């Protein structure tokens, strides 16, 4: 009974729970049955039927009738509520025997209903950065779409791509693990990487699972859907294209680098000037285009600028949908520069690179970490991204503490999701006045 008096009980009556109508219908049914029983009892009294003596005490006939009526109504309401509560526990324990026993049913229902009403958010990127963002956002909405790059050609994904001719599953696997609502043990299994074994060393179980599912269902995109269903994924994961694309880069010393894994190699190459896909006319996935056009918010990053974020936007259909979408468009800059890709890059240079590849005047929000209290490991290779100028072209800069305390190279999923949701809900608020000291800085995007 203590749980009945808990504040969670009131959630049964919150709008949108789809509970009140059925509870009301059940009460009406009980009331109608009570009226029928009352008619039968009345006829029995009139006909002279003699009830046993204990009925006098059972029906509280020694108490005034109006008090009896109130007492019976209160007792009936308590029994109905208690029975309804226990019935739900019985049903849920039967269909979801492994659920967290500390989470109440009403919280489960409320969270699901509330998440379904959340904003439609499309996150574009790849690697661990996109997975970090999704892991935080799934606590705010289930209307999530991850548009994932398929240009990866290194590690386990690259081996599977070369040997079996499949699309690289690594970035998709990370997103599935991040959005999964399954048991933690199942998620850990999906991310498990073999350390030895002939032909298995270096492979992730999740990569092998997705590739095996592709063979079972017939294609890569259906494999993603079925794997997502098995792991109870909140949202959907869509490759930016189903074409077998290769990511290439041109450097400022006139080199052309072929292959995503080669672009990040820091040996003997100049600074990246441009990236492009081969073939250049690779068609965009129709569902990805549809999700972008229908989105309330589109987020680029976080992740490797040239090998995770931009490859998706190099697909013409994705780029055009991004430009045409009326959604809030935001870019999350990495917390630190990346060796081989963005050495020495400031925030403005990150944004410049995106606008040079995609087109200007599209981004409206840029998020950068401002918690620089801790030192980066291997600081001789990477440095915190410097905010050296104001961002013009109508871009609103958001400085926030979004870095992970345990890994200063990564974002914190909870902090990052809170920041992005705050941007979405405050999107129509006027921009705060710029400090006088900042006004002296030159807008790099105008240079």
pLDDT, one tens digit for every residue, the chain (447 residues): 455 444 555 666 666 666 777 778 877 888 888 888 888 877 877 887 777 777 777 777 778 878 878 888 888 888 877 877 777 667 666 655 555 545 566 666 666 777 888 999 999 999 899 999 999 999 899 999 999 999 999 889 999 999 999 999 999 999 999 999 876 787 788 889 998 877 888 899 999 999 999 999 999 999 999 999 988 898 999 999 999 999 999 998 888 999 998 887 766 567 899 999 999 999 999 999 999 999 999 999 899 999 999 999 999 999 999 999 999 999 999 999 998 899 889 999 999 999 999 988 899 999 999 998 877 777 667 889 988 666 667 789 999 999 998 888 899 999 999 999 999 999 887 765 544 444 433 333 333
Residues 145 and 16 in one domain: no
Residues 420 and 289 in one domain: yes
pLDDT on residue 316: 95
Residues 59 and 127 in one domain: no
Residues 63 and 127 in one domain: no
77: which 2 tokens?
């309401």
Among 78, 109, 140, which residue terminates a domain?
109
Instruction: Give the 3-state secondary structure of residue 221.
Output: helix
Structural domain includes residue 160: no
244: closest CA among 224, 268, 220?
220
Among 109, 138, 163, which residue terminates a domain?
109
Residues 129 and 11 in one domain: no
Among 59, 91, 109, which residue terminates a domain?
109
Structural domain includes residue 190: no
- 74-80 long-range Cβ contacts below 8 angstroms, 24+ apart: 76/30, 76/34, 80/26, 80/27, 80/30
pLDDT on residue 4: 45
Q: Which domain holds residue 327?
A: 118-149+240-446
Question: How many structural domains does the chain have?
Answer: 2
Structural domain includes residue 29: yes
pLDDT on residue 13: 66
Residues 394 and 284 in one domain: yes
Residues 272 and 323 in one domain: yes
Q: Which residues contact 193 (CB under 8 A, 6 or more apart)?
A: 156, 202, 203, 204, 205
Residues 102 and 250 in one domain: no
Structural domain includes residue 158: no
Residues 25 and 133 in one domain: no
Residues 13 and 122 in one domain: no
Structural domain includes residue 342: yes
Structural domain includes residue 26: yes
Structural domain includes residue 138: yes
Structural domain includes residue 88: yes
Residues 411 and 271 in one domain: yes
Residues 251 and 362 in one domain: yes
pLDDT on residue 208: 95
The sign of the CA dihedral 311, 314, 317, 321 is positive
Which CATH number fits the domain that encloses residue 318? Answer: 3.40.50.10680
User: What's the half-sphere exposure (Cβ side, CA atoms, 13 Å) at 305?
Assistant: 34
């Amino acid at each position: 009974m203590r749980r009945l008096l808990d504040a969670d009980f009131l959630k049964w009556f919150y709008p949108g729970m789809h509970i009140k109508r059925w509870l009301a219908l059940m009460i009406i049914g009980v009331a109608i049955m009570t009226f029928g029983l009352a008619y039968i009892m009345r006829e029995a009294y009139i006909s002279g039927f003699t009830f046993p003596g204990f009925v006098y005490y059972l029906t509280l006939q020694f108490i005034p009738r109006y008090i009896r009526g109130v007492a019976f109504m209160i007792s009936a309401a308590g029994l109905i509520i208690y029975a309804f509560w226990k019935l739900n526990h019985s049903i849920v324990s039967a269909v979801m025997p492994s659920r967290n026993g500390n989470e109440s049913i009403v919280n489960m229902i409320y969270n699901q209903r509330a998440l379904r009403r959340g904003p439609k958010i499309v996150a574009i990127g790849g690697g661990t950065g996109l997975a970090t963002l999704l892991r935080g956002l799934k606590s705010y909405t289930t209307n999530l779409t991850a548009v994932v790059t398929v240009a990866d050609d290194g590690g386990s994904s690259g081996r599977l791509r070369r040997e079996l001719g499949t699309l690289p599953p690594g970035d998709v696997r990370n997103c599935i693990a991040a959005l999964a609502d399954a048991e933690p043990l199942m998620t850990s299994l999906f991310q498990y990487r073999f350390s030895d074994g002939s032909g298995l060393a270096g492979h992730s179980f999740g990569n092998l699972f997705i590739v095996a599912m592709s063979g079972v269902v017939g294609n890569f995109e259906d494999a993603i859907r079925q794997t997502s269903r098995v792991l109870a994924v909140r949202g959907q994961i869509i490759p930016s294209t189903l074409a077998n694309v290769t990511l290439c880069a041109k450097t400022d010393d006139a080199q052309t680098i072929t292959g995503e894994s080669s672009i990040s190699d820091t040996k003997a190459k100049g600074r990246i000037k441009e990236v492009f896909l081969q073939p250049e006319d690779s068609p965009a996935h129709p569902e990805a285009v549809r999700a972008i056009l229908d989105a309330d918010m589109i987020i680029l990053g976080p992740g490797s600028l040239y090998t995770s974020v931009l490859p998706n936007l190099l697909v013409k259909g994705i780029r055009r949908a991004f430009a045409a979408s009326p959604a809030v468009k935001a870019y999350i800059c990495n917390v630190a520069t990346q060796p081989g890709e963005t050495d020495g890059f400031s925030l403005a240079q990150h944004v410049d690179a995106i606008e040079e590849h995609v087109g200007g005047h599209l981004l409206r929000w840029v998020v950068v970490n401002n918690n620089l209290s801790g030192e980066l490991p291997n600081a001789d290779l990477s440095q915190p991204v410097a905010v050296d100028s104001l961002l013009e072209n109508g871009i609103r800069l958001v400085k926030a503490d979004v870095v992970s305390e345990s890994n200063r190279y990564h974002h914190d999923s909870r902090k990052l999701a809170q920041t992005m949701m705050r941007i979405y809900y405050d999107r129509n608020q006027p921009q705060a006045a710029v400090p006088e000291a900042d006004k002296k800085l030159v807008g790099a995007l105008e240079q």
